[in-house]
Amino acid sequence: MAKPVYVLNGPNLNLLGVREPAVYGRDTLDDVKAMAQAKASAVHLAIDFRQSNSEGELIGWVQDARGQASGIIINAGGLTHTSVALLDALQAAELPVIEVHLSNIFRRESFRNHSYVSLAATGVICGLGAKGYELALEAMANILAKRGPQGPA
């Protein structure tokens, strides 16, 4: 059986739907998870959808992904802009990584314009709300299909 794609969500994403809905939308994390599960099924992927407010736990999951997952979709929240340790873990995972942000980080405060995660990402999707997760799953399905069962072409 194919390894799942890890869909990892960082700090404060558990507050989706109530935290700054004008910025992040009204969809809850449970709504996002349901949409992601439906899209994953449609593109023939299994997903393991997780959220943590802990940097260490996210890093542990990325490290686990190296042997347990076929790819990583990550919305690292505020850790995007601060965590070199998360970047190091993503690079060490040696998996395709798609970075997702609900808001357009380039139209926000200047400190949000920089992403450490992007340095490890195959691709970045931002500013499209929860739809970004669906697009990330479509992109991941394409990446994995090109790689084939033996890994990178």
All structural domains of the chain with their residue ranges: 5-147
Catalytic entry in 101, 114, 116, 133 = 101
Which one is catalytic: 6, 24, 116, 133?
Answer: 24
pTM of the model: 0.91
b/e map of 43-82 (b: 16 or more CB within 10 Å)?
A: bebebbbebbeebeebbebbeebeeebbbbbbbbbebbbe
Phi and psi dihedrals of 115, rounded to 5? -130, 120
pLDDT digits (tens, 9 = 90+) for 62-96: 999 999 999 999 999 989 988 999 999 999 999 99
Select from 3.40.50.9100, 3.30.70.141, 3.30.460.10, 3.40.50.300 the CATH code of 5-147.
3.40.50.9100
Residue 116 annotated as catalytic? no
Active-site annotation holds for 6: no
Q: Within its chain, how far is the Cα of 114 from the centroid? A: 16
Which of residues 46 and 109 earns the better pLDDT score? Answer: 46
- Residue 104: its pLDDT value, please? 84
45 near 145, Cβ under 8 Å?
no
Q: Is the pLDDT of residue 147 over 60?
A: yes
Strands annotated E in 4-43: 5-9
What pLDDT shows up at residue 65? Answer: 98
pLDDT (0 to 100) of residue 153: 41
Whole-angstrom distance, CA of residue 32 vs CA of residue 51: 12
